């Protein structure tokens, strides 16, 4: 188990091994939750990740509502190897 010390300002340094394992980087937003006596820390998706998810969902909804229009704009040559 890795440990850290709470500073007088309430700050904690997340150990490098934990940051690396979870892919945490400077500027990432974190959410905190309390589970009994445990603290749960979760990385929040970035603005770009949230936008990509919304765009993917919007396209999926569009394809469901108008598949012929969605596929009409795709050139069959895009799917040919070579």
> How many domains would you assign to the chain?
2
Tens-digit pLDDT profile for residues 57-67: 888 887 788 77
Kindly state whether residues 2 and 38 are assigned to the same domain: yes
- What is the pLDDT of the chain when averaged over all its residues? 85
Residues contacting 53, CB < 8 A, separation 6+: 45
Tallying the residues shown for the chain, one arrives at 82
Per-residue confidence (pLDDT) for residue 64, from 0 to 100: 81
What mean pLDDT is predicted for residues 70-82?
62
Tens-digit pLDDT profile for residues 40-57: 999 988 888 778 888 888
Kindly state whether residues 28 and 58 are assigned to the same domain: no
Kindly state whether residues 40 and 53 are assigned to the same domain: no
pTM over 0.75, yes/no:
no
Coil vs helix vs strand at 14: coil
Measuring CA to CA, which residue among 39, 43, 42, 44 is closest to residue 6? 39
């Amino acid at each position: 188990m890795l440990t850290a010390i709470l500073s007088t300002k309430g700050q904690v340094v997340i150990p490098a091994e934990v940051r690396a394992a979870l892919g945490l980087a400077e500027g990432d937003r974190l959410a905190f939750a309390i589970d009994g006596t445990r603290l749960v820390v979760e990385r929040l998706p970035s603005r770009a990740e949230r936008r990509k998810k919304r765009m993917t969902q919007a396209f999926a909804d569009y394809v469901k509502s108008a598949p012929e229009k969605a596929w009409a704009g795709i050139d069959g040559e895009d799917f040919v190897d070579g």
